[in-house]
Amino acid sequence: MLAVGSILSIGGSGRQTSREDRGARQALPTVAIIGTGNVGSALGPQLAKLGHPVIYGSREPGREAVRTLVARTGPKGSAASQQDAAARADVIVLAVPGAALEELVTKSLGPLDGKILVDVTSAALRKAADGYLELVPGPSNSERVQSWAPRARVVKVGIPGAYVIAQPLVHGVPPTVPIAANDRAAKETVARMIAGIGLDPFDAGPLRFARAINEFGLLFMVPLQQGRAEGIEIKFMRSSYFPCTWPVRRQFGATADSADLAVFPPTGTTPRPCQAWGR
């Protein structure tokens, strides 16, 4: 797992770094987690370990299960109504069923202008004629959230299972977490959080590519529907082969954001030089 200091400050003398770390920790965004199911309950304690104040937004913040979760989260954890949690937070994680999103975003959470809304919901699925699940046609949940809260900064995160969030190295390597957003700063903020808890953030492009992230969710379901003994978690292998050998930008042109790409935390790997591929 990456240490907080390795993400937030590098270099300087011991005393200077300590001051920078303290300042960075004080500046960590407050996170509201709306939904106290498996994902929200796993994500909150991990973010609190990094130093983020975590507020669980619940329709019943005083119920025993929420109090237990706050206690497990530690001194950085608290609970409030959904609207109060959203009002006090910089980053709001939407960890609820997709069907609940519209009422949540348009009514329950209150004003959302400028807030970072992190969509970790599962896509709506239906059964095809062959029995396999498929995506319901239409915009992704993330795109719907953006349409309901046009001045919010929506980020889609292809979050892994709660057991992996709680133990990122349970399989020996951290799973890859695709992140799609139109707002560079919001994407970078979420990428730092994902890397901080020990997972592998990947820049998946603009928010409309939330639909591509959802396709990975379908692949996740395939072995489960087939009744196989092993399911999957996704890990992207970084490779310099195609950047070295395929002039994609010359063929298709550069992306609109290519001069201002989001900067993600380092992966810890060094790209193989093009000379190694004979280029």
Half-sphere exposure of 234 (CA within 13 A, CB side): 21
Residue 73 CB-density burial (10 A; 0-12 exposed, 13-18 middle, 19+ buried): buried
Question: What mean pLDDT is reported for the chain?
Answer: 91
DSSP three-state, residue 88: helix
Angle subtended by helix axes 64-73 and 38-50, to nearest 10: 30
For residue 103, give Cα distances in angstroms to 35, 82, 98, 147, 222.
14, 12, 10, 13, 31
Kind and range of the H or E run holding 176: strand 176-181
Q: In whole angstroms, give the CA distance from residue 118 to residue 154.
A: 6
Please tell me which residue, 10 or 253, carries the higher pLDDT value. Answer: 253
pLDDT in tens, 102-121: 999 999 999 999 999 999 99
Report residue 236 as tokens. 């992207």
Packing angle of the helix pair 38-50, 184-196 (nearest 10 deg): 90
> Could you read off the pLDDT of 132-176 as tens digits, one per residue?
999 999 999 999 999 999 999 999 999 999 999 999 999 999 999
- Per-domain residue ranges for the chain? 4-277
For 45-80, write each residue's pLDDT tens digit. Answer: 999 999 999 999 999 999 999 999 999 999 999 999
Please report the DSSP string for 50-71 in residue order: HT--EEEE-SSTTSHHHHHHHH
pLDDT at residue 26, as a whole number: 56
Can you name the CATH fold of 4-277?
A: Rossmann fold (3.40.50)
Q: Quick one: pLDDT at residue 10? A: 29
The pLDDT value recorded for residue 268 is 82
Strand boundaries in 36-175, DSSP class E: 54-57, 77-80, 91-94, 116-119, 125-127, 133-135, 153-157
pLDDT at 6 over 90: no
Report yes or no on whether pTM surpasses 0.75: yes
DSSP state of 11: -
Tokens of residue 198, six digits: 């020990």
State how far the Cα of 97 lies from the Cα of 168, in Å rounded to an integer.
23
